Amino acid sequence: MKEILTKDGSFTLKSEKYDECYHSSEGAYTESLYKHVLPGFKAAEQFDFYGGEIRILDICFGLGYNTLTAILHKPENVKLKIFSPELDADLLKSLKSFKYPDEFKTLLNIINEISENLYYKSDDIEIEVFVGDAREYIKRLSNIHIVYQDAFSPKVNQELWTFEYFTDISNILNESGIITTYSVATPVRCSFYKLGMNIYTHPYENIRKGTIASFAELPFVKVDFEEKLKRVKCKTY
Ligand SMILES: C[S@@+](CC[C@H](N)C(=O)[O-])C[C@H]1O[C@@H](n2cnc3c(N)ncnc32)[C@H](O)[C@@H]1O
């Protein structure tokens, strides 16, 4: 795979198999922070950090930016339990030598543990990486508070964007939980809408909008999806 330097100075990879980059050119670290991690923790704060232990599903681990950025920005006095599936075992093994941004310098021991053992545990952080298909893995989980939905695009990785897949996700999501994704595709939002979820975008101006979905009312910019449906059909993948 080819290393790509993104606009914020962090590196990502381009996958030959999917012919897509792991992150947008806006910045691998910036994208993780603003599209996933900050909205997730902002929602968690509304619900008193779910009693002090936040259960995160990171779809999929890839280079681990979302998991690592979440650890770096973990709210004080909160425990994180992170579950993350990943098909590519060779990629996980290679992470020890990936050129991560300076922000992750303090996390090198965690990166090494994950790369070697697919597991890490400290007093306030536990990470489990599952090698295999996310669609099977999610069926074993329950009571998830935050889902980072960060597969490759629906065009090349459609199995992780179908209505059936999002139905399975909604079944393991806590009633106050949220899904964050970079995708603004109408069929993705239609899945959330059909599942009875509210649709929001993040409030940050420095990066392209994504989608936030939740059964709960959240302090984000709400998308009037019913207005949109006056003009387009609600078709899912
Ligand atoms: C866009 S990348 C993830 C980027 C990642 N969040 C990061 O920060 O680097 C998508 C990842 O999903 C993995 N993947 C694709 N389909 C999968 C599936 N069905 N089950 C598990 N992993 C899958 C790919 O191998 C790839 O590593």
pLDDT (tens digit, 9 = 90+) per residue, 91-128?
999 999 999 999 999 999 999 999 999 999 999 999 99
For ligand 1, which residues put their CB under 6 angstroms from it?
Answer: 22, 60, 62-66, 85-88, 91, 133-135, 150-152, 157, 159-160
pLDDT in tens, 53-94: 999 999 999 999 999 999 999 999 999 999 999 999 999 999
| Residue 29: Cβ within 10 Å count | 24
Backbone angles phi, psi at 207, to 5 degrees: -150, 150
Cβ-count burial 196-235 (b if 16+ within 10 Å, e if not): ebbbbbbeeeebebbbbbbbeebebeebebeeeeeeeeee
Cis amide leading into 60 (omega within 30): yes
pLDDT in tens, 154-201: 999 999 999 999 999 999 999 999 999 999 999 999 999 999 999 999
CA distances from 30 to 33, 35, 81, 88, 181 (A): 5, 8, 22, 24, 14
Average pLDDT of the residues in 30-52: 97
* 92 CA → ligand 1 middle, Å: 11
Looking up tokens 């078709």, which residue turns up?
235
Q: Report yes or no: 160 and 190 within 8 Å, Cβ to Cβ.
A: no
* 231 CA → ligand 1 middle, Å: 33
* 227 CA → ligand 1 middle, Å: 33
| CATH class belonging to 28-228 | alpha beta
By most ligand atoms within 8 Å of CB, the mutation choice from 3, 18, 69, 87 for ligand 1 is 87
The tokens for 150 are: 């960060």
* 149 CA → ligand 1 middle, Å: 10
